[in-house]
Amino acid sequence: MQHVSPIREPLVTGGKTYHDITNDVCRQVEAKPNARWAAALAVSLVGLAIFIYSCYRTLWYGIGEWGLNKTVGWAWDITNFVWWVGIGHAGTLISAILLLFRQKWRTSINRAAEAMTIFAVICAAMFPVLHMGRPWLAYWVLPLPNTFGSLWVNFNSPLLWDVFAISTYFSVSLVFWYIGLIPDFATIRDRATGPIARRAYSVLSFGWTGSAKAWSRYETVSLILAGLATPLVLSVHTIVSFDFATSVIPGWHTTIFPPYFVAGAIFSGFAMVLTLMIITRKTFHLEHYITLEHVESMNKVIILTGSIVGIAYTTEFFIAWYSGVEYEQYAFINRAFGPYWWAYWSMMTCNVITPQLFWFRKIRRSLTATFIISIFVNIGMWFERFVIIVTSLHRDYLPSSWAMFSPTMIDIGVYVGTIGLFFTLFFLFAKFFPVVNMAEVKAILKSSSGVKHHPHKTMHGTEKELNTNPHHSNE
């Protein structure tokens, strides 16, 4: 009954069998760390060290170590926060929304994308705590019962909504990601030879048996979690945008922010997924699972969301003019032509102009071009948040308070440091966890591998292979 589509390109190439998938994905988990991986991890650890040092300076001496001032109360801290949260969005979108939409191409990239979500949210969560004047009291933003009388948090504050949004997002993403990992952990456990690995993966796999019942529950839970995560894709960045949209500052006080932020988040998230996947597929030789087809699909999403943010930028300008509010008008003119014009035009170039190159199929399918453009988008989206936050604040209502912001080494250190943190986590993940969801890729192998499977031969062959696995026979 298998039908090989003459138009759709296969999602798994190279005539892979089920066993090949298991072997290919487990290879780097089981093999000794290779030199390239170790080098990459070492670089990341340097970044992590920078992060730790910058945090120490910030926590020990105070926020004064950063470049903020009486006028610009937020700058790189919240820019980085929004940027990291945005990056996380692609993971959830890929695993949840694309699951609901039955987009099969998601299977080989969702694992890494979800991991990226979690690591990005961890990086993001550093900033709301670090940027506090008294971070040791950070728990006061939680509505905990307390002995301060009937002292409660302020439910009017968008920052509080952020706390709820981010913590919900993080927990749902984490559970979703982990549930997906369980069958693959079980596979690794079953193949493991060393006692430590066997025990570790045994614990991690929660005693997965692979029974039909387990699979059925697995599918159900995945679906439920996807259902839960889907609104989060939209809500988290909507709420983050409320930090700005509910304020009175020209350039922040904008109703377009929620959809514009969500589009921007997905935009930057896909760019980051591409950046990572292009490196990963090369390093771990996963070209047959993460194919050009995948890259192209993601590039299409980038054109779409990039165009949405482009429209949003234009709309903002139009509305500023149309509103007739002099402060709004000035805020936007100042963005484009004021002292931070270079940030604005970097944003416009990276976010609006470069992704349009993906209209060309050749560029869309070029790994080099995609990699470069994905970096551009990452930079552009960072500048977008910088432009919104800093250029709106630095010249608001009273010209007497207008000021410039310039980052200190510690500002830069914290930012570079979170990138170090992110990659440290990611490289550890890539080494010790299966970066491609074996179970789900196997599920699409029949329908989209570009190979006509002869049930007798291939299936038999595969089963035979599986049966040779001593652990598997324990079932």
Partner 1 sequence: MQDRIKYWKGIEELNNTPEFAKHAHNEFPEFLPLDEAKGEGSTSNGKTQRRDFLKLLGFSMAAVSLASCEAPVRKAIPYLNKPVDVEPGVANWYASTYYLNGDYNSILVKTREGRPIKIEPNPSSSVTPYGTSSRAQASVLGVYDNNRLRFPLIKGKEAKWEEVDKQIASRLASVNGKVAIVSSTIISPSTKQLIDEFGARFGNFEHVVYDANSASALLAANGGVFPGYDFSKANVIVSIGADFLGTWGAPVPFAKQYIQNRKIDADNPEMSRHYQFETILSMTGGNADVRVPIKPSEEAAVVTAIYNAITGGGSTSAKIGDGKALAAAIRDLQANRGKALVVSGSNDPAVQAMVASINRALGAEGTTIDSASPYFVKQGNDAQMIRLINEMNAGSVGAIFFYNSNPAYDHPLAEKVIAGLKKVALKVSFAERVDETAVLADFVTPDNHYLESWNDFEPKRGFLSISQPVISPIFTTRQMQDSLLKWSGNSTNFYEYIRNNWRKVATGDFNKFWEKAVHDGVLENGSSMLKVAPSTVAVSTTVRNIKPAGIEAVLYEKVGIGSGSEANNPWLQELPDPISKATWGNYVAMPIAMAKEMEVVQGDVLAVTLPTGQTFELPALIQPGQANGTVAIAMGYGRSLEAGPVANGLGANAFQIANVIDNTVAYSSPVSLKKTGATSPIAQTQTHHTIMDRLVVQENTLTNYKANPKEVTEYIRIATHEGPAKPAAISLWDDYEYKNHHWGMVIDLNSCIGCGSCTISCNVENNIPVVGKAEVLNRREMHWMRIDRYYSAVEHEEKDYATMENPAENPSVIFQPMLCQHCNHAPCETVCPVAATMHSSEGINQMVYNRCVGTRYCANNCPYKVRRFNWFAYANNEKFNFNEPMNNDLGKMVLNPDVTVRGRGVMEKCSFCVQRVQLGKLEAKRENRRPKDGEIVTACAQSCPTEAIIFGDMKDPESRISRVLARQKGERAFHVLEELNVQPNVTYLTKIRNLA
Residue placing its CB nearer to partner 1 in the complex, 30 or 326: 326
Work out whether 145 is an interface residue with partner 1 (CB under 8 A).
no
Work out whether 412 is an interface residue with partner 1 (CB under 8 A).
no
Which member of 399, 457, 474, 475 binds partner 1 (CB under 8 A)?
399
Work out whether 206 is an interface residue with partner 1 (CB under 8 A).
no
Work out whether 333 is an interface residue with partner 1 (CB under 8 A).
yes
DSSP codes joined into one string, 362-404: HHHT-HHHHHHHHHHHHHHHHHHHHIIIIIHHHT-S-GGG---
Site for partner 1 in 262-301 (CB under 8 A): none
Work out whether 147 is an interface residue with partner 1 (CB under 8 A).
no
Work out whether 317 is an interface residue with partner 1 (CB under 8 A).
no
Work out whether 387 is an interface residue with partner 1 (CB under 8 A).
no
Which member of 320, 373, 393, 451 binds partner 1 (CB under 8 A)?
393
- Classify 216 as helix, strand or coil: helix
Q: Name the minimum Å distance from CB 172 to partner 1.
A: 22
Work out whether 219 is an interface residue with partner 1 (CB under 8 A).
no
Work out whether 64 is an interface residue with partner 1 (CB under 8 A).
yes
Q: Name the minimum Å distance from CB 322 to partner 1.
A: 13
Do the Cβ atoms of 22 and 187 come closer than 8 Å? yes
Which member of 403, 409, 464, 468 binds partner 1 (CB under 8 A)?
403
Q: Name the minimum Å distance from CB 404 to partner 1.
A: 8
Work out whether 402 is an interface residue with partner 1 (CB under 8 A).
yes
Helices (H) and strands (E) counted in the chain, each on its own, are: 18, 0
Which member of 168, 283, 307, 329 binds partner 1 (CB under 8 A)?
329
Which member of 37, 74, 105, 423 binds partner 1 (CB under 8 A)?
74
> Cα separation of 30 and 215, whole Å?
25
Which residue from 110, 51, 75 is spatially nearest to 444, judged by alpha carbons?
A: 110
Q: Is 318 exposed, middle or buried (0-12, 13-18, 19+ CB in 10 A)?
A: exposed
> Cα separation of 124 and 80, whole Å?
7
DSSP codes joined into one string, 146-213: -SSSS----TT-HHHHHHHHHHHHHHHHHHHHHHHHHHHHHHHHHH--SHHHHHHHHHHTTT----HH
Residue placing its CB nearer to partner 1 in the complex, 78 or 347: 78
Which member of 152, 206, 318, 359 binds partner 1 (CB under 8 A)?
152
Cα 35 to Cα 45, 101, 216, distances in angstroms: 15, 40, 40
- With vertex at residue 38, the alpha carbon angle to CA 33 and CA 39, rounded to the nearest 5 degrees, is 150
Which member of 52, 97, 160, 175 binds partner 1 (CB under 8 A)?
160
Site for partner 1 in 101-140 (CB under 8 A): 128, 131-135, 137-138, 140
- Classify 450 as helix, strand or coil: coil
Work out whether 315 is an interface residue with partner 1 (CB under 8 A).
no
Match 């604040």 to its residue by tokens.
393
Work out whether 345 is an interface residue with partner 1 (CB under 8 A).
no
> Cα separation of 447 and 437, whole Å?
16
Work out whether 330 is an interface residue with partner 1 (CB under 8 A).
yes
Q: Name the minimum Å distance from CB 169 to partner 1.
A: 17
Work out whether 421 is an interface residue with partner 1 (CB under 8 A).
no
Which member of 67, 210, 259, 461 binds partner 1 (CB under 8 A)?
67
Q: Name the minimum Å distance from CB 66 to partner 1.
A: 8
Work out whether 154 is an interface residue with partner 1 (CB under 8 A).
yes
> Cα separation of 160 and 138, whole Å?
11
Give the contacts of 36 (CB within 8 A, at least 6 positions apart).
283
Which member of 52, 221, 249, 311 binds partner 1 (CB under 8 A)?
249
Give the contacts of 117 (CB within 8 A, at least 6 positions apart).
88, 89, 90, 91, 92, 173, 177, 269
> Cα separation of 431 and 40, whole Å?
11
Angle between helices 460-467 and 18-30 (to 10 degrees): 40
Binding site for partner 1 (CB under 8 A): 61-64, 67-71, 73-74, 128, 131-135, 137-138, 140-141, 151-154, 156-160, 163, 243, 246-249, 326-327, 329-330, 333-334, 337, 393, 395-404
